[in-house]
A and B are shown apart, each in its own frame.
Chain A
Amino acid sequence: MHPDVVVVGAGIIGAACAQALKARGLDVVVIDRHGPASGTSSAGEGNVLVSDKEPGPELELAKASRELWPELAEDAEWEEKGGLVVATTEEASEPLKAFAAKQRTAGVDACELTADEALAHEPHLNPEITAAVHYLQDAQLNPVKATKALLRGIRIIDAEVSTTDGRSVTTTTGVISCGAVVNATGPWARHFGVNVLPRRGVVLVTTPIPGTIRHKVYDADYVGAVASGDADLQTSGVVESTQAGTVLIGSSRQRKGFDDTIESKVLKALARKAIALFPMLAGVPVMRAYGGFRPYAPDHLPIIGEDPRTPGLWHATGHEGAGVGLAPATGRLLADLLTGGTPLVDPHPFRVDRQEVMV
């Protein structure tokens, strides 16, 4: 076996890279130690968002991805549900409106709503909100089904990779020589030389209450929590339904390595913030909680490109909590760069040769 490219990691990013490379006619093999979408990809909500991104390179990548997803996610419960971002305090109202105005100039569909209009969209929303913006492009999919759809027809090897020199990978089941290697190992990417750290997140799941919550609804302070680099616990109210009628409640961010214990203080904070958005949730039972690790790059930008220190080794990681949303464009961009095509978006901001990324 001598594939053109070995992709390490069968999460949503590895799958998108493999799919894009295969579409160029390259022979691609994916290696994962636990199978498709077994790590970060299945530990989130499957969001495809533009609403939480300020104008800049990540928004451009998100917009390009949003264009690509509907066709790719056909069998993956794709739902254009839209996002509703609300301010819950007087102070948060103006910044939310200003943020949305900036996004509109960058091509985001962001409609300001009055409180009454917001309540018409979400009847159970706390009427005390001070501002609301409706993002029509925000969507959701089933991340495991989407990963498997991208991987259709691609060989997956069940093994763990210990080292790579860009021209071969050493795995628990042997050495595979190849033309190039893609490190798509998400929060475990540091093992292959880029400064990516795990940032813990926990999601609560309620018993089914179908039809009660219609959009992805979140507190405007979420954008600040995403942009922060603080290691301490940060939480923000993020509430949405799944097609099964359960309600997913996030979000928390915490840097504490790969420690996966669930802490009651995180459950408390998530519950309080969800109830602040939807008071009726106070009486709804939570039936499970799950957590995962976002791949966090200290400068908050994905890492997509060839490693200048190891020719043949490419990285596609550091998407933090936005991997599902950014996956198709990441795969396309990586394939463009690897095959010498015209890049889908400006690749410079995502290059590996960044001060905070090289370790």
Chain B
Amino acid sequence: MRIVVVGAGPAGMAAARTAADAGAEVTMVDSEPEAGGQFLRGRAKFEHRGVTHLKNTEAWMVEGRTLHLRGPRQLRFDALIIATGAYDRPLPFPGWDGPGVITAGAAQALAKQGVTLAGRVIVAGTGPFLLPVATALQDLGATLVGVYEANSPLAWTREAKAVLANRHKIAELASYRKVLPRLETRTAVIAKHGDRVTVAKLDRHWRPVSHRTEHADLVCIGHGFLPRTDLVPNAKRTNDFLDVDDRQRTSVENVYAAGEVTGIGGADLAAAEGVTAGAAAAGRQPPPEAVEAVRRGRLFAQALSRAHAIQPGWKTWLSADTTVCRCEKVRLADLTDATGMRELKLTSRVAMGRCQGRICARNAADLTGIPFDGQRRVIAVPIPLGELADLPEETP
């Protein structure tokens, strides 16, 4: 039984360990030099009997039961586990494409690498993820001007069931106590020009009701996450995230998914999904405690997606000349009348550049009212033509 796991974050590591312990021959592929993913970047010491860890390796296409890797190199599998995680969704506002604005995820990655981001810093967006980012920046000596959460914490009062099932999450809040005094809710960064940052109080639809000016060198933004699902362009999904059954099976035969590709719920849920996927892929019953942890974690994930949902008022933050697509320099005014994503892309060039719409496509769809098509990309990462030319004649 050959199992290939893509991604070495909490979900991928758990899946690889579990599948190997069940007797499968496991290869875990990851693009980073060390295991851990975004969450444990470089801090996970991964070594497990029966698991081959391919570091610094990017996977770019699934073809039948073959995973294509950069090189080129191919891995045959009986089961594939997608644990490729998610990345920040930044919402655009005037100045978001200028210097001094990065995603919260990028800020955290830099912080985990020990890069000092001194100076005056703002963390803004929505979701509990803003707190550890702010904490990490403060620990590195940054002056925290503010942590701005666009939603209201009162939304959580409607989520008692999810909260009670996940009391340990409340305890986690305590570890961010140093930044809590800087937290302002129903608040957002809606423009940045030089070091002048426009901070707005929002109504519940995220429409600004008042604003003030703050000074900051760096604004870190994160308005939730989008899953990295390019390897399975045809898998069924709901609101971008992969649909899985109680064994973590996707709609594609022999392909499982675990972790943030199925929904955002934190590292413990990701690991439990990894255990479930690893066991199921190896033909075993998933352990009941993992199944129970997935059930509880999903309650939390669903509550999180409700309490920290993006509200449509963000669209009023932009002006006609605000950049929507950074790669192709497409402004709001350049978005054309279109009935579908392909028509929109080919007439405005939005989402046609280097990032292939990973940053902007979803925002462009929301801004134009065009149904988002989930962005089927058949090549997951850019790959030189010379490497494609070296592919084997027949797929093994």
- Report which A residues bind B (CB closer than 8 A): 34-38, 42, 142-145, 148, 158, 204, 206-208, 244, 246, 249, 261-265, 267-268, 270-272, 274-275, 281-290
B371 to chain A, nearest CB (A): 11
Give the contacting residue for A289; candidates B328, B352, B378, B384; CB below 8 A: B378
Main secondary structure of the interface of B (DSSP, over half): loop
In the bound assembly, the distance between CA atoms of A38 and B63 in angstroms comes to 26
Q: Which of B68, B338, B349, B379 has the most CB of A within 10 A?
A: B379
A244-B328, A246-B352, A275-B389 given; 9 more Cβ-contact pairs under 8 Å: A37-B342, A144-B347, A145-B347, A204-B385, A264-B392, A264-B395, A282-B389, A283-B386, A287-B356
Contacts A275-B386, A286-B388 given; indicate if A207 touches B378 (C-beta within 8 A). Answer: no
> CB-CB < 8 A to A263: which residues of B?
63, 395
The chain A residue with its CB closest to the CB of B328 is A244
Contact in complex: B339, A287 (CB < 8 Å) = no
B67 to chain A, nearest CB (A): 11
Contact in complex: A264, B384 (CB < 8 Å) = no
Bitwise, B339-366 to A at CB < 8 A (1) or not (0) is 1101100110100111010000000000
Q: Which 9 A-B pairs have the closest CB atoms?
A: A35-B339, A282-B386, A271-B388, A285-B382, A144-B346, A268-B391, A271-B389, A262-B378, A272-B389
Contact in complex: A36, B339 (CB < 8 Å) = yes
B248 to chain A, nearest CB (A): 24
B354 to chain A, nearest CB (A): 6
Interface size in chain B (residues, C-beta < 8 A): 33
In the bound assembly, the distance between CA atoms of A284 and B389 in angstroms comes to 12
Contact in complex: A284, B393 (CB < 8 Å) = no
Contact in complex: B63, A264 (CB < 8 Å) = yes
Contacts A268-B388, A274-B385 given; indicate if A288 touches B356 (C-beta within 8 A). Answer: yes
Contact in complex: A34, B340 (CB < 8 Å) = yes
> CB-CB < 8 A to B386: which residues of A?
271, 275, 281-283
Contact in complex: A286, B379 (CB < 8 Å) = yes
In the bound assembly, the distance between CA atoms of A207 and B381 in angstroms comes to 12
> CB-CB < 8 A to A208: which residues of B?
353-354
Contacts A38-B342, A265-B394 given; indicate if A207 touches B354 (C-beta within 8 A). Answer: yes
A292 to chain B, nearest CB (A): 10
Contact in complex: B346, A265 (CB < 8 Å) = no
> CB-CB < 8 A to A284: which residues of B?
384-385
In the bound assembly, the distance between CA atoms of A261 and B62 in angstroms comes to 10
> CB-CB < 8 A to B338: which residues of A?
35
In the bound assembly, the distance between CA atoms of A265 and B66 in angstroms comes to 13
The chain B residue with its CB closest to the CB of A285 is B382
Bitwise, B315-357 to A at CB < 8 A (1) or not (0) is 0000000000000100000000011101100110100111010
Q: Does B61 contact A (CB under 8 A)?
A: yes
Could you list some 25 contacts between A and B, CB below 8 A?
A: A34-B340, A35-B343, A38-B340, A42-B342, A142-B346, A142-B347, A158-B339, A207-B354, A208-B353, A261-B63, A262-B61, A264-B63, A264-B68, A264-B391, A268-B388, A271-B391, A275-B386, A275-B389, A285-B384, A286-B379, A286-B382, A286-B383, A286-B385, A288-B379, A290-B378
- Report which B residues bind A (CB closer than 8 A): 61, 63, 66, 68, 328, 338-340, 342-343, 346-347, 349, 352-354, 356, 377-379, 382-386, 388-395
Give the contacting residue for B385; candidates A38, A42, A143, A282; CB below 8 A: A282
> CB-CB < 8 A to A286: which residues of B?
379, 382-385, 388
Main secondary structure of the interface of A (DSSP, over half): mixed
> CB-CB < 8 A to B343: which residues of A?
35-38, 42, 144, 148
> CB-CB < 8 A to A38: which residues of B?
339-340, 342-343
In the bound assembly, the distance between CA atoms of A145 and B336 in angstroms comes to 10
A236 to chain B, nearest CB (A): 15
> CB-CB < 8 A to A264: which residues of B?
61, 63, 66, 68, 391-392, 395
Give the contacting residue for A271; candidates B354, B377, B382, B385; CB below 8 A: B385
A134 to chain B, nearest CB (A): 25
In the bound assembly, the distance between CA atoms of A289 and B289 in angstroms comes to 43
Give the contacting residue for B378; candidates A145, A246, A281, A288; CB below 8 A: A288
In the bound assembly, the distance between CA atoms of A261 and B252 in angstroms comes to 13
In the bound assembly, the distance between CA atoms of A303 and B233 in angstroms comes to 35
> CB-CB < 8 A to B342: which residues of A?
37-38, 42, 144
Contact in complex: B389, A268 (CB < 8 Å) = yes
Contact in complex: A267, B388 (CB < 8 Å) = yes
Contact in complex: B382, A287 (CB < 8 Å) = yes
A295 to chain B, nearest CB (A): 18
In the bound assembly, the distance between CA atoms of A287 and B388 in angstroms comes to 12
Contact in complex: B68, A148 (CB < 8 Å) = no
B228 to chain A, nearest CB (A): 16
Q: Which of A148, A244, A271 has the most CB of B within 10 A?
A: A271
Contacts A264-B68, A282-B389 given; indicate if A244 touches B352 (C-beta within 8 A). Answer: yes
Contact in complex: B395, A265 (CB < 8 Å) = yes
> CB-CB < 8 A to A265: which residues of B?
391, 393-395
The chain A residue with its CB closest to the CB of B344 is A144
> CB-CB < 8 A to A244: which residues of B?
328, 349, 352
Give the contacting residue for A206; candidates B352, B385, B390; CB below 8 A: B385
A270 to chain B, nearest CB (A): 8
A36 to chain B, nearest CB (A): 6
Contact in complex: B382, A148 (CB < 8 Å) = no
> CB-CB < 8 A to A289: which residues of B?
378-379
A184 to chain B, nearest CB (A): 17
> CB-CB < 8 A to B349: which residues of A?
244
> CB-CB < 8 A to A36: which residues of B?
339, 343
> CB-CB < 8 A to B391: which residues of A?
264-265, 267-268, 271
B233 to chain A, nearest CB (A): 9
Contact in complex: A35, B340 (CB < 8 Å) = yes
In the bound assembly, the distance between CA atoms of A267 and B388 in angstroms comes to 6
> CB-CB < 8 A to A206: which residues of B?
385
In the bound assembly, the distance between CA atoms of A302 and B262 in angstroms comes to 47
> CB-CB < 8 A to A158: which residues of B?
339
Give the contacting residue for A42; candidates B346, B352, B356; CB below 8 A: B346
In the bound assembly, the distance between CA atoms of A38 and B394 in angstroms comes to 32
